[in-house]
Amino acid sequence: MTGPDDTRQFVLNLSCDDKPGIVAAITTELASIGGNIEESNQFRDPVMNRFFMRIAFWAPTRLTADDIDRALRPVVDRYEMRISLGDSARRPKIVIMVSKFDHAMQHLLYQIRVGWLDADIAAIVSNHEDSRADAEREGVPYHCWKVTRDNKAEQEAKLIELVKDTGADLVILARYMQVLSDQLSKRLYGKVINIHHSFLPSFKGAKPYHQAYERGVKLIGATAHYVTPDLDEGPIIEQETVRVTHAMSAEDFVAEGRDVESRVLAHAVKAHLERRVMLNGHKTVVFSK
């Protein structure tokens, strides 16, 4: 994204132990290279004494990400910061994984098409052929990899290779109904988002909305989280609920669930792509606009 006066936008994320002078030090260095801060968010975790910050800023186009990293290095070393720097000149790439239920995938495709999500789809991966026509209509490579107990490791190796070859920044499980292995979950930690068709932690299993219906619940929902080896227990990015009543059928619950799943996943993906999500142990810090 190019701004006024021949500048472009960067996003800096940083975390470190909380100490006096962090904000002043980092903003002074940005000013010294001609950076102009557009948005700044910060949070201190009082339990962990950990400081988190996200800064969106404009810098002269003559500066590369490496130039900015070198300029910030003295401050980074002094405060023992963990940082990442995103350059708006590079459009993020995603891989979408889906099984038979395609509503969440369709919503992502639409939001990318209209520009609300700023990303390129590197590929769509499925264990079924059902979504091939949609991928072809969008001009996206489609990979149908049938998964069995015997070939699971082989198929996951293909996914790793696909992510590497395409330079994908994020893998999205848009109702992909296969459990990723512990090895893959660890290797791609922080780079895989799953939509869980339940307002965690209740009603796990194959038919959560039917379970909710049988129990007469008044709220159902969905949870988007990072994938970890602990099934459906990864750091939560986004959640939403919707009110239901006794007069609704199980099919009504499913319909409401499809809508909320699609919204929650899209919002989680958007937050990740905009570098608004920072991992904090088993939790996340999610900065809103």
Identify the active-site residue in 18, 69, 232, 252.
Answer: 232
Using CA atoms, how far apart are residues 99 and 175, in angstroms rounded to an integer? 6
CB contact set of 117 (below 8 Å; sequence gap of 6+) = 108, 111, 266, 269, 270, 273
Sign of the dihedral through C-alpha 252, 258, 260, 263? negative
Residue among 211, 217, 269, 266 nearest 246 (CA): 217
Length of the chain, in residues: 289
The answer to whether the peptide bond before residue 208 is cis (omega within 30 degrees of 0) is no
Using CA atoms, how far apart are residues 10 and 164, in angstroms rounded to an integer? 24
Is 232 one of the catalytic residues? yes
Q: Which residues are catalytic?
A: 232
